[in-house]
A and B are shown apart, each in its own frame.
Chain A
Amino acid sequence: MTPPSFSRRPVLAGIAAAAAMIAAPALAAPAIGKPAPAFTAVDSTGKSRALSEFKGKTVVLEWTNDGCPYVQKHYKTDAMQELQKSAAADGVVWLSIISSAPGKQGYKTAAEANTWKTDTGAAPAAILLDPKGEVGRAYAAKTTPHMYIVNPAGTLVYMGGIDDKNSADPATLQGAKNYVVAALADMKAGRAVAQPVSAPYGCSVKY
């Protein structure tokens, strides 16, 4: 009979758009108390980094996008840099992750990421480049910033917002309850994380 392509070609373009709309998958959220999703990603120095290499250490994952006003609130005030430094001093591994797709806000090449790190004085252990959004999707990262803490056993112990003030206004840092600070303090003191989840806020991750 007629070859299949006869009917397909004229309509495929239209269908593709509709299909993309219909089939946009929801993200499956990881769970507190369960093993944190494993990942491997290349960092801004070109090195391949895996979550497993940090076993035995507390790991903070920070989703970031330098164009996002909510991220800027924490960087322009040096709040995030100070948090990164104090975490490092406590032996915590801080990984900043960029899941913006190429061409979208926040996307960075390795060189751009290194420049950004120098310019802002950011002090993460590594900046992971995730242009395909694979790490982001594994963690169902929705916003920038979106924070996750993995304990030395590899278990997810915190996920959510960096603090309780959904605002891009730097003035709101005053009096905000920083959940990451609180969780790291709980862990350092050998307590269970009192608030293991919170609603993340900020810009959408630009997958």
Chain B
Amino acid sequence: MTPRLAGLILALLVLIAPAARAAPVDTGHLKAELIAQTQAIAPGQTIQVALRQQIDKGWHTYWRNPGDSGEATKIAWTLPPGWSAGDFVWQPPEPQPAGPLVSYGYSGEVILPMTLTAPADAPVGQPVTLRAAAAFLVCEEICIPEDALLELTLPVQAQAAQPSGRWAGPIARALEAAPRRADLAAVFENSDQGLRLAITGAVLAGANLAGSYFFPFDGAVIDHAAPQSIDRGPQGLTLGLTASYAFQMPEPPQIMAGVLKAGDAYYEIEAQAGPLPAEAAGLGPPATRGGGLSAAGLGLPLAMVFAVLGGLILNLMPCVFPILAMKAASLAGHAHEAKAARGQGLAFLAGVLATFLTLAGVLIIAQAAGAAVGWGFQLQSPPVVAALALLMLAVALNLSGVFEIGTSLQGVGSGLAGRGGLAGAFFVGVLAVVVAAPCTAPFMAPALGWALTQNAASSLLVFAALGLGFAAPFVAVSFAPGLLARLPRPGPWMDHLRKVLAFPMYGAAAWLLWVLTLQAGPMAMARLLAAAIVLALAAWLFGLSQVRSGRLALRGGAAVLAILAVVAVLFPAYQGAALPGGESSGAVAELPYEPYSAERLAELRAQGAPVFVNFTAAWCVTCQVNEQVALARQGVAESLASTGAVYLKGDWTRKDDVIAAELARHGRAGVPLYLVYDTRGSEPVILPQILTEGLVVRALEAAAG
């Protein structure tokens, strides 16, 4: 027989011979089947087979350590004599929270590979059917034990089978994804400072360690539900764990084995009891890690979605209300001129986008230059705040009718449609963004926090998305003739509306004056008030020039006064006001607190006290609202007293690199940021940006344990 003929016969045989066969079994809440990496097996050969589970949505099965509750998936083979199967190669588990408990398991599809070895005397040519009983605990909210009797039929052939067929790839990937043994040294110590696990090794040096987590094999060594703190070191990391039952045994554990999730990699480790190595700690937690709507792991698409949502919500925030007022006035003016309204909408959008992108550019450049800046940074500068206050005043005076912008006094209904009107809408867009900065809306913070840790292009995209969301309602209204037609026809009511809307603008000016006072002290306030009066006089003179003769003289006088006012607030050397403790952020019924410092926080945590940290700023309206509606309430004060929690306040009203760095560490680019540290040394819980009294009280009570 020529080799070629032999090859042909072999090929035919392969075609005729039955391939590996198995049938999935539906156990009720999952489908289970045995799969093989090869289509056959040879005597003496070891191949990879696997138990494949397709778990119903919302249900899960368990890892080898099921965590707080549950039971690991089991398999019992019934094999012909001489055949043997290995243990599962467990896939990295996912934590499955349920109320106050956390289990470790799988959802969706999971493939658990294991080896299968044929005896050397397995008869060639006869297919072999291998049986196994698999037992699952499948849980949603409730748990159901389910069983499956599974079969796998494999042809036995003379030559070793190579991986092929539908399951070769998935099994190879599952083996690849399984935790691997790397050259890692692991040590744990259970002391007054809690249970700490230090892991060192070349693969960890300089690795991204955000989201690192230890999954123990033994279900009694750690509290699975307690958050794990991460401290990086030059050669590895130290995890802060919460010791569980096993450490109350007369002889506590000497070995703690399990899976370390380090960044996106999984390693199998076996830690020995002993003193912790210094090179596994000291560099603090990894950057960008937070709870809840965390910045870490937020991809570009999701960050942009959050940014659009954040921009939309920004329209509702109190600091934007005066701008809403202006928008409404301007839109009312064009209610019955669809084309003009569209032009206004687009000009507004352009103004918003241009300003957001400019701000993003400045932020990116400043960060590249090493400055610790974040969202709202422009309001940390007293001259900017003072100038904005004057601008608000000027806009308010304009709305009040003290002077007009544009050509005439012919009435707001008709005069704004020309080129000047477009420029005006663009300017409104610019102004809206500048003033919106202090309002970090929900959804916006994670997006911005993410954006500012990415490359410039991603940052700019996220900021552009924010601008789109922010401008969307106004643009939508300006493009919907149906909506416009519902607005009443122009008439005297528009003048009344305009004058009413002036008052929120006065309010905004007053608020900025208050911010400046906190930033730069009473002298600055006096100067700004004087400048405001001079500016008001200038505005009145300008208005007079629009209705009287002798225009040039009046206008000249107005211009000189206006310039004087602006110069008076822009160029003095602002000294930092000595912010006295109780005044810095001005809540009415202020809680007793200590100023934030990293040292004080570390000291309190070492003492085991729960700590509530509030990063705030006077110019942050969200922060101020939270102070009033949640933090100033009796319940919070009582809860602080009863839990013994210490309240630390970090004031970011003025530029502060330490606070900026701390914000960045939690994936934030601006205030507010509320952290609750518990007594067990865990990672802090990040509270939402909109607080309620009950929410703070619950978080404090949880932290106190």
Contact = CB atoms under 8 A, between A and B. Distances in A.
Given A14-B442, A23-B698, A105 B245 contact: no
Given A168-B145, A199-B219, A29 B321 contact: no
Contact of A143 (B68, B246, B687): B68
B625 A26 contact: no
B98 interface: yes
Interface string A190-204: 000001111101111
A204 B246 CA distance: 19
Given A19-B688, A196-B250, A203 B245 contact: no
Contacts of B690: 7-8, 11-12, 15
Nearest to B242: A26
Nearest to A27: B100
Most buried by A among B101, B225, B628, B699: B101
Contacts of B70: 203-204
Interface stretch (A44-52, A81-89, A124-132, A159-167): A159-167
Contacts of A206: 99, 141-142
Contact of A24 (B99, B245, B629, B682): B99
B401 interface: no
Given A10-B316, A19-B695, A201-B69, A4 B98 contact: no
Nearest to A34: B248
Contacts, number: 167
Interface string B688-699: 111010010011
A40 to B, nearest CB: 19
A6 B687 contact: no
A64 to B, nearest CB: 14
A25 B701 contact: yes
Most buried by B among A15, A24, A27, A204: A204
Interface residues of B, number: 70
A68 B313 CA distance: 44
Nearest to B97: A24
Contacts of B257: none
B248 A32 contact: yes
A205 B100 CA distance: 9
A21 B292 contact: yes
Contacts of B686: 22
A26 B99 CA distance: 9
Given A10-B313, A105-B141, A196-B248, A26 B220 contact: no
A169 interface: yes
- The A contact surface, by secondary structure, is loop
B318 A198 contact: no
A174 to B, nearest CB: 16
B252 to A, nearest CB: 10
Nearest to A194: B250
A36 B705 CA distance: 16
B264 to A, nearest CB: 23
B308 to A, nearest CB: 15
B685 A22 contact: yes
Contact of B682 (A4, A26, A29): A26
Given A1-B318, A8-B625, A169 B248 contact: no
Nearest to B686: A22
Contacts of B291: 22
A117 interface: no
B135 A169 contact: yes
A166 B321 CA distance: 60
Given A25-B701, A31-B248, A32-B248, A142 B318 contact: no
Contact of B100 (A6, A26, A33, A201): A26
A198 B316 CA distance: 54
B651 to A, nearest CB: 20
Interface string B406-445: 0000000000000000000000000000000001011000
Contacts of A76: none
Contact of B143 (A24, A68, A195): A68
B688 A199 contact: no
Contact of A169 (B145, B242, B625, B702): B145
Contacts of A31: 248
B411 to A, nearest CB: 29
A136 to B, nearest CB: 9
Contact of B688 (A22, A202, A207): A22
B101 A205 contact: yes
A207 B99 contact: yes
B245 A168 contact: no
Query: 8 closest pairs, A vs B, by CB?
Result: A25-B702, A28-B705, A204-B69, A2-B318, A199-B220, A197-B245, A22-B292, A199-B219
21 contacts: A4-B628, A8-B625, A11-B313, A11-B442, A15-B442, A18-B688, A21-B97, A23-B687, A24-B702, A26-B225, A26-B682, A29-B244, A29-B245, A32-B248, A68-B142, A197-B245, A197-B246, A199-B219, A199-B220, A204-B143, A205-B69
Given A7-B316, A197-B220, A201-B71, 11 more contacts: A7-B622, A8-B625, A14-B442, A15-B689, A22-B687, A23-B687, A27-B101, A27-B225, A69-B144, A204-B99, A206-B99
